[in-house]
Structure 1
Amino acid sequence: MAKGRLEHANISVTDPERSAALLKDLLGWEERWRGPSQKYGRSVHIGGEHDYIALYTGDHVRGEFAKGHPLNHIAFTVDDLDAAEKAVTAHGLTPFGHDDYDPGRRFYFFDWDGIEFEVVSYE
């Protein structure tokens, strides 16, 4: 059986540069690519060597489409949950839903476009 892993998630945001800055500070990621999308807009790809988030924007990003609909959340793992929370608050966002559970710790936050993120540490 082939083994797979998540390569990317594509999310609609109102300001890809602002969202990219948060992901750089939160996860230590880098910009992989930016340019026009195949349809109506532009994208900034931010991530690591094997995985990334495509931050997609254009005139279509309004109303319900700017609220992460139908995306539930995107989860990241980090090695220092406290430092990750500081990065989130430094960007003016509010962490919530802190939970210690087996096998780790986590919190959630919403970005400026209503997209929910979960941050988990198994350390």
Structure 2
Amino acid sequence: MSQPFVEHANVTVRDIEEAVAFLQTALPDFEVRHQGKSDYRWCHIGTQLSYIALQEQTLDTPVERSPYRQIGVNHIAFVVDDIHALMVRMQGAGYRLGEINELHPFRRRVYFFDHDGLEWEFVEYLSRDNLKRNDYES
């Protein structure tokens, strides 16, 4: 039996096209798997194994949320091979840079905000050793 993994996360956004553009800038291998419309527009974007389920908001006046202070998703993280290439793509496309964490000897992290102000984390691991990758003491 294989280990469990996250198959998808569902995120509500203001505009599907802007969200797809953000994700494909960060993760060029992500493809739109399917999209449609029921009571709202939706889109699945990712790989054959996992994806982000996007849906457009349905409220005329969105409710403002304070990340890390109220209940809800704060960020979603993706593992990438080259954090610096990702940063060049994202900043070149005009996405707002958040925190950069390069203090750990075995991983680099960077955060970017999409058009909706949602925070997305990207992690590059510098070791294949899971004990080093998952170390919280360094």
Question: Which ranges in structure 1 are unaligned for 5 or more consecutive residues?
Answer: none
Aligned twin of 2:87: 85
Question: Which amino acid is 2:33 matched to?
Answer: R
After superposing the two structures, state which structure 1 stretch, 8-17 or 20-29, moved more.
20-29
Structure with higher Rg: it is 2
After superposing the two structures, state which structure 1 stretch, 54-63 or 17-26, moved more.
54-63
Conserved 8 A contact 2:15-2:56 = yes
Aligned twin of 2:108: 105
CA distance in 1, matches of 2:2, 2:125: 26
Question: Which amino acid is 2:55 matched to?
Answer: Y
Length, aligned pairs only = 120
Secondary structure of the 2:20 match is: helix
Question: Which ranges in structure 2 are unaligned for 5 or more consecutive residues?
Answer: 127-138
After superposing the two structures, state which structure 1 stretch, 97-106 or 45-54, moved more.
97-106
Q: Stretches of 4+ moved more than 4 A in 1?
A: none
- 1:60-79 deviations in Å (ceiling 9; x for gaps): 271237x7x61111001110
Question: Which amino acid is 1:11 matched to?
Answer: V
CA distance in 1, matches of 2:123, 2:77: 7
Conserved 8 A contact 2:18-2:115 = no
